[in-house]
Amino acid sequence: MAAPTPMQIQQMQQQMSQMQQQMSQQQMTQQQMNQQQMNQQMNPHMNPQMNPQMSQQMQQQAHPQSQQQNQQQMQQQQVQAAAGQQQQQQQPQQQQQHSGDLDPIYKFKALLPRLKESLSNLFRAAGDVFKHHASQDSGNRTGDSPQQKFEKSLEEFYALCDQMEINLKFALEMHCQSLDSMKYTPHHVTSSIKDSQQPDTMPYPQYLLTVRTQINWAKEMHDVLSEFSKNLATDQIVAK
């Protein structure tokens, strides 16, 4: 056999290097495949093709901050809506409470249940007192006297009666004032500009002027009558 030429030796060396590169690439790909298989065996959910639900979860976990922000915004909107509803519900209740605090008839009606309860307690305490005195008259031993409880119930009953009487008197005075206002100022008094443009109404500044003129007229009449009475008394003294 003839000895190989230098050109043939170079070609053989190139082929050997190419074969080594191919073998190294095959080894690397084989290692990657083995690594993937091991990962799949350890955690099969890591493969999105085998488990599409896991891929969706991974996509959802990719944006946790955006989901949290959306949830916080929804919670804030719900809280604001609930607060608005509570305010709307509280406004008429506050108006009713405010009107009830000023209305004596409303206070009188509110005191009626308390008066009934106080009266029943008073009758019960009076019955205990009668029973205690009857047992003493018969010579039986009795415990502490319920007289103090009876006196306390009686004081509570009288206090409620006084409050109801005051409210009724106040309601009567308000009724008399409303009748006088209807008599001397028959037009409805308004506080806003829009309502004052309606017929048969009187604006509040004009109402104040009317009241001031009535007060001045009453003072003038008082001065005239007092002066007349003084002059009449002096004339009688001079005549004597």
Mean pLDDT per 10-residue interval, the chain, length 240 residues:
62 73 76 73 51 50 56 72 68 56 86 94 91 81 80 94 94 88 73 62 81 90 92 76
- The percent of the chain in helix, strand and coil, each rounded to the nearest 5, is 85, 0, 15
Per-residue pLDDT at 99: 55
Structural domain contains residue 234: yes
Structural domain contains residue 70: no
Number of residues written out for the chain = 240
For residues 129 and 168, membership in a common domain is answered with: yes
For residues 108 and 171, membership in a common domain is answered with: yes
Q: What is the dihedral of CA 115, 117, 118, 120, to 10 degrees?
A: 120
Per-residue pLDDT at 62: 44
Structural domain contains residue 19: no
Last residue of a domain, one of 160, 184, 208: 184
Name the residue type at position 102: L
Domain count, the chain: 2
Structural domain contains residue 127: yes
Per-residue pLDDT at 46: 47
For residues 161 and 223, membership in a common domain is answered with: no
For residues 177 and 208, membership in a common domain is answered with: no
Per-residue pLDDT at 238: 73
For residues 164 and 212, membership in a common domain is answered with: no
For residues 213 and 170, membership in a common domain is answered with: no
For residues 169 and 110, membership in a common domain is answered with: yes
Q: Are 214 and 184 in contact (CB under 8 A)?
A: yes
Give the domain range for residue 157: 101-184
Structural domain contains residue 229: yes
What is d(CA 95, CA 190) in angstroms, rounded to the nearest whole number?
19
For residues 116 and 173, membership in a common domain is answered with: yes
For residues 135 and 161, membership in a common domain is answered with: yes
Per-residue pLDDT at 74: 76
Structural domain contains residue 74: no
Structural domain contains residue 218: yes
- The pTM assigned to this predicted structure is 0.43
Per-residue pLDDT at 177: 85
Structural domain contains residue 230: yes
Closest CA to 160 of 116, 127, 124: 116
